[in-house]
Each structure stands twice: as C-alpha cells, then as structure tokens.
Amino acid sequence: MNKTIIVSNRLPVSFKIDNQHLHAETSIGGLATGMKSVHSEGNGIWIGWSGLTEEQLNEKLTEEVDQALKKEKCITVSLNENDVENFYYGFSNRTLWPMFHYFMEYTEFELDQWNSYKEVNQKFADAVLEHANDGDTIWVHDYQLMLVPQMIRDRNPNLTIGFFLHIPYPSYEIFRTFPWREELLAGILGANLIGFHTYDYVRHFLSSVKRITGLETKFNDVLYNGRIVKVDSFPMGIDYDRFHEAALEHKTRPEDKKSDLMLKLEEHSQHFSDNKLILSIDRMDYTKGIPNRIRAFEYFLNKYPEYKERVRLVMLAVPSRSNVPQYQKLKSETDELVGRINGKFATVNWTPIWYFYRSMPFEDLVDLYASSHVALITPIRDGMNLVAKEYIASRANHDGVLVLSEMAGAAKEMHEALLINPNNFEQIADTLKQALEMPHAEQHVRIKELKKRISRYNVEKWAEEFMKALESGKNTPDMLVSKKLDENIINDMTDSCSNSKKRLFLLDYDGTLVGFKNNPEAAMPDDDLYDILDRLAANENNEVAIISGRDRNTLEKWFSHKNYTLITDHGVWLRKKSKDWEAIERIKSDWKDKIRPIIETFVDRTPGSFLEEKNYSLAWHYRKSDSELAVIRARELGLVLTSLISNNSLAVLEGNKVLEIKNSNVNKGRATAKLLAAEDYDFIFAIGDDWTDEYMFEELPQSAYTVKVGAQKTQARYYIKDNNDVRKILEGFAKKEKYGSELYN
Ligand code: GDG
C-alpha cells in the first residue's frame, strides 16, 4: 500500500535534555495539527530533525529518541552542531528568511552556508529515499528544504512530490539578487505540485521561473524536463474547533481552575470596566513589525490623549532564533521602546504596555484572545499569519475587532478585518480609534463573516485540498494528450520504417531541426544537419520534406541544391524534390500595408521585439523581450489584430514566442494534404514544435508517427522534451547498420 511521507525541518515532537533526561514536547503549531490527518492515515510517516544535535546525544539517548519517535510514526534526520549553525541559523535564517521577507539589508550570501544547506538538504532527501517506495507521496515543507524535491526525484522519479512554502515568495527583483537562484529554482521544480499561501506568491514564483530559467509557463503550469509542474495557492487555515471550543470553555471555567493570567485579566476588567485591551502575539521576529507597532501605539496615545488610562497594549513576544544577531538587536530595541513608553505615559493606576517575552501554554493564549477587545497584528511581511485567524476563532461572543497588516498573507482572505499599512502610523492610530469605537453590531457582522470562512477552510481542509491536487496529478503523470517518445516506441517506429516502401519525413525547421536563435537569420543549417538529411534523402524511397513558416527565398538559399521537398511560408509554396516551385494557394498580400504599421507600434513599445516581413505573412517576434511584458503585449496585439481581421480571410497564429498574421486559407495542414494526395506513403514521420505544426499533425492518418517537440498539449501522438533529441531520432532512421544499404544508399 502506498504511503505519504511528510518532510519538515522540525518534527511534530521535539526533545530537550534536562539533567541527562530526555523531555519530549508536542508541537502545537498549525503545521502539526494540519498534518495530523495526513500523517495518521495508513502507514504514513514524518521525517525531520528531533531538535537534538549529534553532539548532545549518546547511544542510549539516541535509542530513546528513536523509540519515542517510532510510536509517533516519526523518523529523525541526524544533524550535528555544525549543520544546525550553518544550515539552520546560517543559510535558512540569515539568507532565505530575510531575503524572502524583503529584508535585503539583513541578507547574507555565504558560500560555506550555502554548501551546508545543500549537504543538509541531501541528508533529508536520503532519509526520504531510504523509507520511500515507488508510488508513495512525499510532502516537503518550507524554506529550509527547498532543494529536497529535486534531490528526491533525481534518485527516484516514481514518487509524487509536493512542496509547500510557508513564507512569502518575493518578487523577481529581490530573488534575482540571489547568487544560487537557478539551483534553488531547480530544487523546488523537482516537485509535481508547488503550493503557496497566496496568489501573489504564485505570480512572483512563476515570474522568477520564467525570467531566470527561461522555462515556459502556461497559466499555473511550468513545463520542466518533460514534466508539468503545477503551481497553486492554498491559504493555510487553523484548527478552528480547538480554539473555538477552548474559548467556550474559557467563559464557563470555574474559579478554582482559572490560571494566574486569567485572574489578572479579570481583575483588570473589573477595576477598569471602561478600559480596553489591545492584543498582539508574535514570535520575536523583525518581520512581525513589533517596534513599528509600539511606536504607532505611542503615536496613537499622543494623537488621542483621551485614551490614556483607557487602553492597554498586551504584547506577547515569543523568543525565537535568539542566536542570530538581528534577533538580539530586535529584542534590545523592543525592551528599550517598551521601557521608554511605559516610563513616559504610566500613571499610578496604569501602565500602557504589558509586555511578555516568553511562550505561554495554549490555555493562556486562548485567555488572551478571549479577553482582548482588539487584536493589533502589524507584520512588515508575513507569509500568512495564523494568529489573526486564531483571534477570530476565539471570539465566542462574536465581538472584538481585528486590525491587520495588508502585508500578511491572511489579509487576502480577511476583508472584514480593518486592514492597515504597518508603516503608516497615522493610519494605524486612526484605525485603532475606529476599532475601539466600533459599534457592537458592526463587530458582530464582521466577526461572523470572518468566522464563517475560517471555520470552513480550516487547516484540515487546507491539507486535504493540497493532497487532492497532488493526487490528481498522479493519475495523469504528464497531463499531456501525447505519450513520451521512449525507447520502445522509437524501436517500433524504426522497425516500421525499415519494413516500409514509400516513406515521408515531414520536418519543421525552427525549434525542431535547429534550436531557436535570437535572430532568425542566425538559424542557418549546419553541416551535421545537411549530413543527416542528405543520408535520409539519398534513398529514392524516402521523401524528406522541410515544412516551414520561413519564406521561399530563405529556404531556397539554404536548400535549393538539395534533393529535399520544400514547403515554405506555412504552405504557400511547394517545391517537390527536383521539381519547380508551384503555388499551393493563390493569395493576395495587399493587407500587409494596413497591418504593418500596427505591428510597428508594438515593436516600438516592446524593447527586444521585432517585425519579420515574409512574402505572405507578417511575424512579430518577442523571444528577446522581457517575458512578462511580452506576454501582455502579445495578448494585446492578438486582440487588436483579431478585431481588425474578423471580416476577411486573415488569421492570427500564435507560435513559439511569435505572433504571425497570414491568410487563413494557408496552413501546413493544407500543404500536407497536397503531399498525401500525390503519393501513397506507407510510413509517415512528422515532427514540429509549435502551433502551426498542429495543422500538419491534424491532417495525417492515425498510422503516422507524429512527434511534438516540447511537453505541451498537442494533436501529435508523441512528444519529446526539446529539440536536442531530434537529430538523434533522424540519425536512427538514417543508420546504415540497422536499416541496411537500402535506406543508406
Ligand atoms: C510561519 C510564517 C505562516 C505563538 N506564541 C505562542 C504560540 N504561538 C503559536 C500561534 C500560532 C503560531 O505560533 C504562529 O504562527 P504564525 O502564522 O503567526 O507565524 P510564524 O511562526 O512566523 O509561521 C507564517 C505560518 O508559518 C504557517 O504557514 O502563517 O506567515 O511566518 O499558531 O498560536 N503558541 C503557544 N504559546 C505561545 O506563546 N502555545
């Protein structure tokens, strides 16, 4: 039976050593909860680091850890101090974390740390490979393990791999600064499905992929190494019921069961019935906007002094990564700010900020959520922010107001919150006032809507949706209509070729026989190509036909001295081998004078693009342009042209990074039909890479071997990854040893 393996840096259980004794702690974070159902199904396992380094463990302790984890269906990856220092505190938290959160000034690029990141990712991948069997599903989590998907695929392509990033994905302008950007992207692209919290992160990722690797993307799919990699957004939810139920329990808790914190909160509301609590909870991290929030609160007290002694900011900052210097700096800055503001505003009865620098048990957390009138969550950048959702889930009476930064992923789905820009103190101060004065009825409406969404799309649903998307890709591995041209098919095809009497080879030129060049003139045939084609054409039973969108002059220049059939201008002109040129279609080209100026304006507005004028068509090439701009412009030009030509016999064809306008009754299909009508072929091979070749594939009988270059949707029966393999296939047909002198001549 197939299983699911979850892979994350930390396990849902982590360990500490106190006085030589092992202490296990269950993680209560969202990830552990969300994965619970995935993890508990069948014989699923979770692979990650236990929290203890090799140096901290002796044989006995290792055995104990392994035994304890076995019960939880977890497996450890063994890391040493050096790994933790360089891979975790180093590369993960001093390079990827700040860079992905747009803190370039904190981002370090250290080769040693990158090497350690690669080594540790390999350790994780090895652990997965050791426990995975063909057909299993692997779900890799977060920025610490971005190379793991490809490392796994390299050694076992028969696994289905998902990857989810819990932090933001930055814009291309940020990501391009990263020295090892190609390797990192290749690492993630090893997955079958890549998930992000929001659609913006999806866009940023696809933009980096397009611009850095030059790979083609179609909607949310990346065509990579003959596979389709799906990219999508899956906004993570919380364990709604857990918070909701705990909040209900909070309301009815008997006196003797109340925690110190709860008693203190109650005492506060009894003594200061008019006094409201504003809550913030985060890890002590510079992305969370803690100093900004404190300064904005100070600004609020100055701007609206009537709120002095009537509000209190309760700030829980949980210690995090305290051996990274920026975190130490942030801690001192926060201490200093809280001290200064409390010193400045405090009265005998009131301190404006209650500040806790520690973590609290879950029950205390819920007490804080349940007792606070406003939650003030102001990250500078945040992948999602689960605290915002937990606050809403804990509002048993449907009251309270959430003030949330637009920069948190959660803002994308929590429109009923009051959204603020965390850098705008004026706006934060005014919004805080609005929150504190919001009528009860309005609070109710907003919270109710928020609760509806958060309870429905909870963390289990999130995991379920991701797994569903991952599994749906499993049954249709490449999601293409055509099959990959593998050894067996090639053998079949070459056998059928050698057993036949009259053969037709229909060969597209650009992107098939030669790779793309930035300039169309540069894609001249080379000696090797002439050699293979000559050998094929030398046999009088073979008809080698080059079928191209190129104009007659160019193909004449390159191939007139050869014994090949030539079809040019997408099928306007035909020259059968050793015969004269004949027009397949009689067409006019007077329309070009009207269309040319329009395309020229697009050339001016799209740097890198150019117009190619052919006898019977105009082609706008945008291969060299900025890919994102070009896609927008191509769509625009396509619309403009289509609207202009609706009444006459022109058609707009979308090729590989080219938009071409030409007479609609001309296409490679009609030219192919003309060839087929003239001869009775018992073997047909056709190969091409773009849309214009689809007409050719369509026209051919079922028995023809039709091959698309590139993993794309196609009418062809087979596909190959790229044009590097085309010559190998032709060479196979031309090989003397295999087909005898008849073919080789
Ligand atoms: C990363 C991304 C993304 C906090 N203090 C205590 C405590 N917590 C719990 C909260 C919440 C979790 O920790 C914090 O989650 P966040 O989402 O707010 O932030 P990160 O830790 O930065 O998480 C983030 C997340 O991954 C998921 O993808 O949303 O954007 O940065 O669940 O309740 N729990 C307890 N005591 C505390 O003192 N028990």
pLDDT digits (tens, 9 = 90+) for 687-728: 999 888 999 999 999 999 999 998 777 889 999 988 889 999
Residues 597 and 581 in one domain: no
Of 618, 638, 660, the residue that ends a domain is 660
Residue 120 is assigned to a structural domain of this protein: yes
Check whether 252 has a pLDDT greater than 70.
yes
Average pLDDT (233-237) is: 93
Q: How far is the CA of 459 from the centre of ligand 1 (A)?
A: 13
Residues 399 and 443 in one domain: yes
Residues 228 and 365 in one domain: no
Residues 278 and 384 in one domain: yes
Residue 249 is assigned to a structural domain of this protein: no
User: What confidence tens digit (pLDDT) does each residue in 578-594 have?
Assistant: 789 998 877 777 888 88
**Phi first, then psi: what are they for 199, rounded to 5°?**
-70, -30
Q: What pLDDT does 607 receive?
A: 85
User: What confidence tens digit (pLDDT) does each residue in 87-144 have?
Assistant: 999 999 999 999 999 999 999 999 999 999 999 999 999 999 999 999 999 999 999 9
- Residue 257: pLDDT band (50, 70, 90) is confident
Structure tokens at 613: 């004028």
User: What confidence tens digit (pLDDT) does each residue in 367-389 have?
Assistant: 999 999 999 999 999 999 999 99
CATH number at residue 727: 3.40.50.1000
Check whether 742 has a pLDDT greater than 60.
no
Pocket test for ligand 1, best of 386, 404, 466 (most atoms within 8 A of CB): 386
Q: How far is the CA of 246 from the centre of ligand 1 (A)?
A: 18
Residues 332 and 411 in one domain: yes
Total number of domains in the chain: 4
Ligand 1 pocket by Cβ (under 6 Å)? 28-30, 166-167, 236, 281, 283, 316, 318, 359-360, 362, 365, 382-387, 390
Check whether 465 has a pLDDT greater than 60.
yes
Handedness of CA 625, 631, 632, 638 (dihedral sign): positive
Residues 100 and 153 in one domain: yes
Average pLDDT (733-738) is: 64
Residues 273 and 390 in one domain: yes
* Among protein residues, the one whose CA lies closest to atom 9 of ligand 1: 29
Residue corresponding to tokens 């009815």: 252
Residue 616 is assigned to a structural domain of this protein: yes
Atom of ligand 1 nearest to the CA of 358: 38
Check whether 637 has a pLDDT greater than 50.
yes
Its domain, for residue 492, covers 481-585+666-744
Residue 461 is assigned to a structural domain of this protein: no
Atom of ligand 1 nearest to the CA of 408: 30
Residues 400 and 337 in one domain: yes
Residues 635 and 651 in one domain: yes
Helix orientation angle between 668-678 and 691-699, rounded to the nearest 10 degrees: 30
Which residues, 6+ apart, have CB-to-CB distance to 40 below 8 Å?
73
Q: What pLDDT does 481 receive?
A: 62
| Pure H helices in 304-424 | 325-345, 362-371, 386-393
Most distant CA atoms of the chain, gap in Å: 106
Residues 219 and 334 in one domain: no
User: What confidence tens digit (pLDDT) does each residue in 532-578 have?
Assistant: 999 999 998 999 999 999 999 999 999 999 999 999 999 999 999 87
Q: What pLDDT does 114 receive?
A: 98
Residues 213 and 322 in one domain: no
Q: What pLDDT does 273 receive?
A: 67
Q: Are 619 and 658 in contact (CB under 8 A)?
A: yes
The H or E element that residue 465 is part of is helix 459-475
Is 508 one of the annotated active-site residues of the chain?
Answer: yes
Distance CA 123, CA 117 (A): 10
Q: What pLDDT does 375 receive?
A: 98
- Residue 36: pLDDT band (50, 70, 90) is confident
* Among protein residues, the one whose CA lies closest to atom 28 of ligand 1: 166
Residues 279 and 424 in one domain: yes
Is pTM beyond 0.75? Reply is: yes
* Among protein residues, the one whose CA lies closest to atom 6 of ligand 1: 359
More confident residue, 707 or 20: 707
* Among protein residues, the one whose CA lies closest to atom 27 of ligand 1: 166
Average pLDDT (296-316) is: 96
